[in-house]
Amino acid sequence: MTDSETKQEVKLQGVAAAPGVARGGAFVFLRNTPEIPRYIIPPERLNHEIQRFENALVNTRAQISQLRETVANRLGEAQAGIFDAHLLVLDDPALIDETLSSINGSMLNAEHCFHTVAEKYIAFFSKIEDEYFKERVVDIRDVSQRILHNLLGLSPRTLADLTNRRVIVAEDVTPSDTASLETGHVFAIITDAGNRTSHAVIMARSLRIPAVVALIDASKKIAPDDFLLVDGYAGIVYVNPSPETLSRYEELEREHDEFNRKVLRETDLPDLAADRRAFSLSANVCGAEDIDALKKYRANGVGLFRTEAVFIKNQSRIPDEETQLAAYRALVEGVAPATVVIRTLDIGGDKAHGALQASEHREENPFMGFRAIRFCLENKSVFRTQLRAVLRASAFGKTKIMFPMISSLDELLQAKAFLRQIEDELRAENIPFDEKIPVGAMIEIPAAAICAESLAEHADFFSIGTNDLVQYTLAVDRGNERIAHLYEPCNPAVLLLIRHIIVSAKKKNVPVSVCGELAGDPAFASLLFALGADSLSMTSGAIPEIRYLLRRTTSAELEQLVTQVYAETNPQKISAILKDFAVERLK
Ligand code: PEP
Ligand code: MG
């Protein structure tokens, strides 16, 4: 941030996204495709230019091999396979030889020649309507970006390249970035973009890494040698913090540690409110790697398995039935005898997938676009493979299926009809699955919320996705930092919809859970419990605090809370009522 000898402290205010305090050196991660320079090479420098290109290839090979090894150790051989395809691109004589003859023939610099050749191949393969070539395009793009970064001497291109512990500073982080992160290498994540419910942030929270988002231009202000203090509770980042700030934070961290110890002491106490009304807290997970945390905090099973995480880990391949079955089964068996709610693929929005979406046009409004159930109903072979894997996993433990982004009864009925078709297929093949597997709908679009009663006639359960419900109700993109201040769950419209969904579900005796971030937010958990939510599903790390809080509530107090909240129309006042209620009980 400054070149001077003694660096001044600078305080940046963003949005608190994942709790915790962390400090460490900055790792500034800029994803944007670099500017490709074009210049003439003097004849006497030609050999040097070719050597430079060859060095970039050698370095790229070493980086990919290293990444391959890391991913194989962490996620297994199947996931590491993508890097074999990348290594093959490096061996491709067409790409490499053509670049070399282009440098020789044109006397232009290596970056320009390589970029031109790579783009020619990408354009050529992109036109071919075939899965194999779509995957090649993703591979070539990835590898060529890496080669260009090496030629230009730029910082590494993926977060998986981070090899020692730092604070990640980025314009934005995607779910695939977080999926490839070696968590032991990250103190914290701070980004210019995003808000609390961006998917990358949700993943950071499940990895228990502090995060601050919506910092607007932090990645431009922070230099790689800056030291950072990240306060994930208040959404503050101190660049080159003063000794006073550091010691103030030591005190604050002691208080947080004390608080965490206090709530953790109740982990083994029953999930009963002060007047013995039962509550149920389950976990939101991305895969079997979350089982340890879920057990540690004693979650009552999995309320939301975001299966897209299984897809996102490998951008160039669509996981086949066996790969998916292994992922789902590991979780179902690991969580047994408790239940796992498996949500079908919710790709799109802020969760991109190279191979799945390679042929799709860029969308102007991805969150309002070709996402989740809409994508699956039009990509039946992808949907079929997933449903087969989920149904097969249901033979190994209690499983429920849930469809995301349901916006109408027709959509729910179409998804269910297709599921029945897949069940018939499995029956004909004598493949076992749970014949009574419950099928539910996520209620996260206002249209579904308003029509919840008719949907309830066709659903075995509901799960309220508040992250999306808030964004669609208020027309506030959940990932857009410029309007993060407008993402207001205390807006009465949101609260009225949530109450309407729960009342509608109750009328039809359909159990309803809440799996958006509000479920694990102490300010909202009591209200959701008070409204009659049958279970709250959240990142495992949030469970001890919510357990501690709900154990200190009574029905009479909760009823009063509901009356107070719904009598108020001002979001700030509602927020204050909810926060006071939580703070009182968390003391
Ligand atoms: C939600 O929208 O609240 C939800 C739980 O789903 P996701 O965050 O994955 O969109
Ligand atoms: Mg959602």
Which ligand has its closest atom nearest to the C-alpha of 351?
A: 1
Torsional class of 276: left (φ above 0), alpha (ψ -120 to 50), beta (otherwise): left
Locus of tokens 């993943």: 203
Output the CA–CA distances (angstroms, integers) from residue 342 to 192, 306, 394, 438, in the order listed. Answer: 32, 7, 10, 11
Which ligand has its closest atom nearest to the C-alpha of 347?
A: 1
Q: What are phi and psi of 455, to 5 degrees?
A: -65, -35
| Residue 242 identity (one-letter amino acid) | S
Determine what percent of the chain is predicted with pLDDT higher than 70: 92
Question: What pLDDT, on a 0 to 100 scale, did the predictor assign at position 129?
Answer: 73
Q: Tell the residue nearest (CA) to atom 4 of ligand 1.
A: 465
Tokens of 415: 């998804």
| Residue 508 identity (one-letter amino acid) | K
Q: Which three-class secondary structure state does DSSP give residue 440?
A: strand
Please state whether beta strands 15-18 and 211-213 pair in parallel, antiparallel, or not at all (unpaired): antiparallel
Q: Is 266 exposed, middle or buried (0-12, 13-18, 19+ CB in 10 A)?
A: middle
Which residue would you say has higher pLDDT here, 159 or 148?
A: 148
Determine what percent of the chain is predicted with pLDDT higher than 90: 67
Cβ proximity of 237 and 229 under 8 Å: yes
Can you tell me the distance from the alpha carbon of 388 to that of 534, in angstroms, rounded to the nearest whole number?
29
Has residue 417 got a pLDDT over 80?
A: yes
Q: Which atom of ligand 1 is nearest to the CA of 346?
A: 9
Cβ proximity of 26 and 167 under 8 Å: yes
Range in 1-15, 276-290, 544-558 with the lowest mean pLDDT: 1-15
Cβ proximity of 569 and 492 under 8 Å: yes
Tokens of 501: 């969904």
Please state whether beta strands 227-231 and 236-239 pair in parallel, antiparallel, or not at all (unpaired): antiparallel
Has residue 160 got a pLDDT over 70?
A: no
Q: Which of 86, 112, 199, 353 is catalytic?
A: 199
Q: Which of 308, 345, 442 to mutate to test the pocket of ligand 1 (most atoms within 8 A of CB)?
A: 442
| 113 has catalytic annotation | no
Cβ proximity of 118 and 140 under 8 Å: yes
Q: 302 CA to middle of ligand 1, Å? A: 14
Neighbour tally for 116: CB within 10 Å: 16
What is the DSSP-derived secondary structure letter of residue 17?
E
Question: What pLDDT, on a 0 to 100 scale, did the predictor assign at position 358?
Answer: 57
* Span 305-352, pLDDT tens digits: 999 999 987 766 789 999 999 999 999 999 999 999 999 999 888 877
Q: Which atom of ligand 1 is nearest to the CA of 517?
A: 3
User: Containing H/E element for 70?
Assistant: helix 46-75
Q: 450 CA to middle of ligand 1, Å? A: 18
CB within 6 Å of ligand 1 — which residues? 202, 304, 306, 346, 444, 465-468, 515-516
Dihedral through CA 409, CA 415, CA 420, CA 421, nearest 10? Answer: 130
Q: 468 CA to middle of ligand 2, Å? A: 5
Q: 463 CA to middle of ligand 1, Å? A: 10
Which ligand has its closest atom nearest to the C-alpha of 202?
A: 1
Q: Tell the residue nearest (CA) to atom 8 of ligand 1.
A: 467
* Mean pLDDT across the chain: 90
Which residues are within 8 A (CB) of 325 and not within 5 positions of it... i.e. 6 or more apart? 389, 392, 393
User: Containing H/E element for 12?
Assistant: strand 10-13
Q: Which of 346, 407, 468 to mutate to test the pocket of ligand 1 (most atoms within 8 A of CB)?
A: 468
Can you tell me the distance from the alpha carbon of 536 to that of 373, in angstroms, rounded to the nearest whole number?
23
Q: Tell the residue nearest (CA) to atom 1 of ligand 1.
A: 465
User: Would you give the distance in Å from CA 79 to the centre of its chain?
Assistant: 18
Question: What pLDDT, on a 0 to 100 scale, did the predictor assign at position 4?
Answer: 41
Sign of the CA dihedral with 235 first, then 239, 245, and 246 last: positive
Question: What pLDDT, on a 0 to 100 scale, did the predictor assign at position 86?
Answer: 81
Query: 127-140 burial, b for 16+ CB within 10 Å, e for fewer?
Result: eeeeeeebbbbbbb
Angle value at C-alpha 237, between 236 and 240, nearest 5 degrees: 145
* Span 380-393, pLDDT tens digits: 999 999 999 999 99
Can you tell me the distance from the alpha carbon of 493 to that of 490, in angstroms, rounded to the nearest whole number?
8
Q: 405 CA to middle of ligand 2, Å? A: 7
Q: What are phi and psi of 537, to 5 degrees?
A: -115, 130
What is the DSSP-derived secondary structure letter of residue 348?
B
Tokens of 107: 């006397």
pLDDT, mean of residues 217-244: 93
Question: What pLDDT, on a 0 to 100 scale, did the predictor assign at position 75?
Answer: 60
Cβ proximity of 399 and 441 under 8 Å: no
CA proximity to 414, closest of 427, 403, 430, 428: 403
Please state whether beta strands 236-239 and 281-285 pair in parallel, antiparallel, or not at all (unpaired): unpaired
Can you tell me the distance from the alpha carbon of 306 to that of 330, in angstroms, rounded to the nearest whole number?
14
Tokens of 184: 């032991």
Q: 371 CA to middle of ligand 2, Å? A: 10
Q: Which of 304, 373, 406, 444 to mutate to test the pocket of ligand 1 (most atoms within 8 A of CB)?
A: 444
Cβ proximity of 546 and 523 under 8 Å: no
Q: Which of 306, 498, 518, 538 to mutate to test the pocket of ligand 1 (most atoms within 8 A of CB)?
A: 306
Which ligand has its closest atom nearest to the C-alpha of 197?
A: 1
Q: 330 CA to middle of ligand 1, Å? A: 22
Neighbour tally for 554: CB within 10 Å: 13
Cβ proximity of 111 and 37 under 8 Å: yes
Has residue 2 got a pLDDT over 50?
A: no
| 500 has catalytic annotation | no
Q: Which atom of ligand 1 is nearest to the CA of 516?
A: 3
Cβ proximity of 19 and 210 under 8 Å: yes
Output the CA–CA distances (angstroms, integers) from residue 72 to 76, 135, 150, 163, 492, in the order listed. Answer: 4, 20, 24, 16, 48
User: Containing H/E element for 535?
Assistant: strand 535-538
* Span 93-136, pLDDT tens digits: 889 999 999 999 999 999 999 999 998 988 888 788 776 776 67
